[in-house]
Structure 1
Amino acid sequence: MAVAMGLPRMMARVLIALWLSDEGRLTSAGLSDRLKVSPASVSLAVGYLIQQGLIRRERDPQRRRDVYVVDDDAWYQAIVTSAWQTLHAAETAKQAGESFGPETPVGRRLAHGGAFLERISLDVLESAERWRHLLP
Structure 2
Amino acid sequence: MPGGRLTNEDRQHIAAWLAEGLGYAEIGRRLGRPASTVMREVTRNGGPDDYGAEQAQEATRHRARRHKQAQTPAPPITDGGHGRDPRAVQDFTESFTDLLVQQGLPRMEARVLACLYITDSGTLTAADLVQRLRVSPASISHAIAFLEQQGMLHRERVPGARRERYVIDDEIWLSSMRAAVQMNEALAAASRRGAEILGGRTPAGARFASSAELLRLVSEAFRQVMEQWEQGVAARSGGQQ
Q: 1:15 aligns with which of 92, 110, 113?
A: 113
Once the two structures are TM-superposed, the CA of residue 62 in structure 1 deviates from its matched residue by 1.3
Q: 1:22 to 1:131 in 2, by over 3 A?
A: closer
Tell me the equivalent position of 1:107: 205
**How many residue pairs get matched?**
136
Tell me the equivalent position of 1:5: 103
Q: 1:67 aligns with which of 142, 165, 189?
A: 165
Paired letter, 2:199 = G
Post-superposition CA distance 1:93-131 (Å, at most 9, x none): 111111111121111100111111111112112212212
The structure, 1 or 2, with the larger RCO (C-alpha pairs under 8 Å, 6+ apart) is 1
d(CA) in 2 for partners of 1:126, 1:59: 34
d(CA) in 1 for partners of 2:116, 2:180: 20
Contact 1:87 1:122 (8 Å CA) reproduced: no
Post-superposition CA distance 1:73-108 (Å, at most 9, x none): 111111111111111111111111111111211111
d(CA) in 1 for partners of 2:169, 2:121: 10
What is the alpha-carbon root mean square deviation over aligned residues? 1.7
Structure 1 vs Structure 2: percent identity of aligned residues?
39
2:133 matched to 1:35? yes
d(CA) in 1 for partners of 2:227, 2:109: 26
1:80-91 to 2 correspondences below 5 Å: 80-91=178-189
Paired letter, 2:149 = Q
Secondary structure in structure 1 of the residue aligned to 2:105: coil
TM-score (norm 2): 0.53
Once the two structures are TM-superposed, the CA of residue 6 in structure 1 deviates from its matched residue by 2.1
d(CA) in 2 for partners of 1:130, 1:5: 24
d(CA) in 1 for partners of 2:210, 2:101: 31
Tell me the equivalent position of 1:97: 195
Show structure 2 runs of 5+ residues with no match. 1-95
2:223 matched to 1:117? no
Question: Which structure is larger by alpha-carbon Rg, 1 or 2?
Answer: 2
Tell me the equivalent position of 2:156: 58
Once the two structures are TM-superposed, the CA of residue 61 in structure 1 deviates from its matched residue by 4.1
